[in-house]
Structure 1
Amino acid sequence: MADGDTSGGPPAFEDAFGGDDVEQRVYGTILQTRNPTAANEIAEGADCDPKTARKYLRWFTELGIVTRHDGRPVTYERNDTYFEWRRIDRLATDHSVDALQQRVRELTARIDAYEDVYDASTPAAVDAVAAAEASDDRTIDDVYSDLGDWKTAREERRRHERARQQRSGAGTGRVSG
C-alpha cells in the first residue's frame, strides 16, 4: 500500500492504534507488552503523555487488566489471568451447557486420538524428532503441527470445561440463568 493510500485498510502494524483514542492506544500497547514495562515506554508506544498513560494504567490496574509492579521505575504488564478469566466467562455467556459439553467431548476425542498416535499422555512427552523418524507418513513439520494442535486442544478443553462448570453453577457458588 502506497503512502497516503486511503483505501480504508488496516493501519500499518507500527501504527496499529493511531486512529484510536488515548485510552485505546494505551490498552493496545499494554496488550502487546510481554514483560513489565515502565509507564514512559507505554506512553511512547501509545503516543501520549506519560501522565496520561499513568492515569489509564492506574484504571486498568483497578480493573485487573494490568498488574503493577512497584520499584524504580514502577512497571506494568498485561494480566494474563484476567484475559483467561474473560475468555472463559465469554464462553459461558455465549454457549449453553449442552454446547459446552459437546465441545468438551469433541476436544477429548481429538486429544485421545493424539495420545493413541503418539503413545503418550501429553504433547510434552513426545520426542518430535524420534516420532518423525519412526513414521512413514509424518515429517518433522507434521509432528510439530500435531503437537501444537494437541496442546491447543488440551487448553481449549480446559477452558470449555471451566465455562461449562461456571454456566451450570458447579463449584462456583454462582447461579447461572
Structure 2
Amino acid sequence: MGNSDSTTGPPSFEDPFVGDDVEQRIYGTMLQTRSPTTASVIAERVDCDPKTARKYLGWFADLGIVTKHDGRPATYERNDAYFEWRRVNQLAATRSLDELRERIRVLTATIKTYEQTYDAVTPAEVDALAAAERDQERTVDDTYGDLADWQSAREERTRLERARQQRAGSEPESVSS
C-alpha cells in the first residue's frame, strides 16, 4: 500500500477540508474566497445542498464573519474587518502590556529605518524601480521585498497599538500612595 493512502499528514491541496463537517467546509471555503460569491458556488465547492450553504452563510453573516450582499442571487464574502478585530482581541488577551510595548518599539525602529533608507514616509511613496537604480547594491526584487516588509511592519504596529490600547483599558490603574 502506497503512502498516498495514508490518513495521517496534511490533506491534499485539491480538497483541504475533506474530513470536516459541512459547516467547517463552508467556513474554510469562505476564508479562501476573495470576492463576493453565491451560495450555489460555495455549495458546489463544499459538496453540499445550496439551501444548507445559505443557512450557514446566513449564520456567518449574523456573526459578522461574512458580509452578505443583497441581490439576485445574494452573494457572500469574507469580512476582513471581523478577522482583524479577532486578531487584535487575541493579541490583547495573550500578550502583556510590556510585550506589546516592546514589539511596537521594535517595529517603530524598523519603520524608521525604512523611512530613512527610502526617504519616504510610506512604502506607497517609493518608486521601486527608481530606488533600485539609485542603489546599485540592491536589486529591484530586494526593493520590492523591503517595501512589502515595511508595509507589513506598519500594519502589524497598528494592530499591536490597538491591542495595547485595549489591554491598557482593561487593566486597573495602579494606585500610588
TM-score range, shorter-chain basis? over 0.9
Unmatched segments (≥5 aa) in structure 2? 173-177
Percent of paired sites with the same residue: 65
1:172 counterpart residue number: none
Cα deviation, residue 12, structure 1: 1.5
Q: Residue 164 of structure 2 corresponds to which residue in structure 1? A: 164
Matched, 1:81 2:81: yes
Q: Structure 1 residue 139 and structure 2 residue 118: aligned?
A: no
Structure-2 separation of matches of 1:142 and 1:131: 10
How many correspondences in the alignment? 171
Measure the CA separation in 2 of the matches of 1:125 and 1:5.
Answer: 52
One-letter identity of the residue aligned with 1:64: G
The whole-number CA distance in structure 2 between the counterparts of 1:144 and 1:5 is: 42
The aligned residue for residue 153 of structure 1 is 153
| CA displacement 1:75-97 (0-9 Å, x = unmatched) | 11111100000011100001011
Q: Which amino acid aligns with 1:9?
A: G
Question: Runs of 4+ in structure 1 displaced over 6 angstroms?
Answer: none
**Matches of 1:39 and 1:124, distance apart in 2:** 36
1:34-61 CA-partner distances (Å, limit 9, x unpaired): 1111000011111111111111111111
Provide TM-score, normalisation by structure 1.
Answer: 0.93
Aligned in 2, Cα 1:7/1:40: closer, same or farther, shift over 3 Å?
Answer: closer
Distance of 1:157 and 1:99 partners within structure 2:
13
When the two chains are superposed, the root-mean-square deviation of aligned CA atoms in Å is 1.3
2:46 matched to which residue of 1?
Answer: 46
Deviation at 1:9, TM superposition (A): 2.1
Query: Given residue 37 of structure 1, which amino acid in structure 2 is its aligned partner?
Result: T
Q: Which amino acid aligns with 2:131?
A: A
